[in-house]
A = this chain, B = another copy of it.
Amino acid sequence: MVENEEVGNYYENKDRFYVAVDCIIFGFHEDELKLLLIRRMFDPCKGELSLMGGFLNKGESIEAAAERVLQELTGLENVFMEQIGIFGEVNRDPGERVLSAAYYALINSDDYDKVLAESHHAVWVPMKDIPELIFDHNLMVMIALKQLKRKASVEPIGFNLLPQYFTLPQLQTLYEAIFGETLDKRNFRKKVLSMDVFEKTDEKDKSNSKRGAFYYRFDYDKYNALMQNGSHFAL
């Protein structure tokens, strides 16, 4: 018995579902990897912490919805985002059946619209202090972190969490935070610099030491050129 042999009315009497997007927004501040969460001032789960989310609209692609939701909280556009999947357990949202497409985003935690974020009661929470969140948001965070680790070990996406100019000690601390392990200073620098996609500047950051550490910037052009030729990035 092949149910589909019927003709026409293919979409008739199929069920339709609410679809949300939720954003796992990573930032890096005070040597820690953090998430931008919101304190919900609305039901369901008023007063609790959750990821920033929103509903998918008619005529809007899922990716566009994720970008819109991120922008509604941070004012940012053209941010590095990656889908981690759709979450569709029947009772994940106790209020109504809602499917949720989760995306993680990497932002520079100095450079976003703080007033806008404030209006959503947003707070930065260090990864190691993430409390219980609503629904299946803790699961989403766990998977996002796993995917971030994997991706960061294979593509230079960490820079999205730093300002344009950054020092090597900063970069190392960032990667230590992402991978959750300490790295050898000399080996780290050796590897990073051997990629030849960093441009050293003459400026120094003296906020962390008397001597000061040189600022570098990531050279996207060099990087793209290398990628053409089958090179491979790995940290």
Binding site for B on A (CB under 8 A): 1-2, 4-8, 10-11, 14-19, 41-44, 55-63, 65, 83, 85-90, 95-99, 101, 119-120
Q: Judge whether A56 and B86 touch: CB under 8 Å.
A: no
Contact of A55 among B8, B15, B42 (CB under 8 A): B15
A63-B88, A88-B61, A95-B10 known; A17-B56 Cβ under 8 A: yes
Q: Judge whether B86 and A44 touch: CB under 8 Å.
A: no
Q: Judge whether A56 and B88 touch: CB under 8 Å.
A: yes
Residues of B within 8 Å of A16, CB to CB, are 16-19
Q: Judge whether B41 and A4 touch: CB under 8 Å.
A: yes
Residues of B within 8 Å of A99, CB to CB, are 19, 62
Residues of B within 8 Å of A95, CB to CB, are 10-11
CB distance from A119 to the nearest CB of B (A): 5
Alpha-carbon distance A8/B7, docked complex (angstroms) = 42
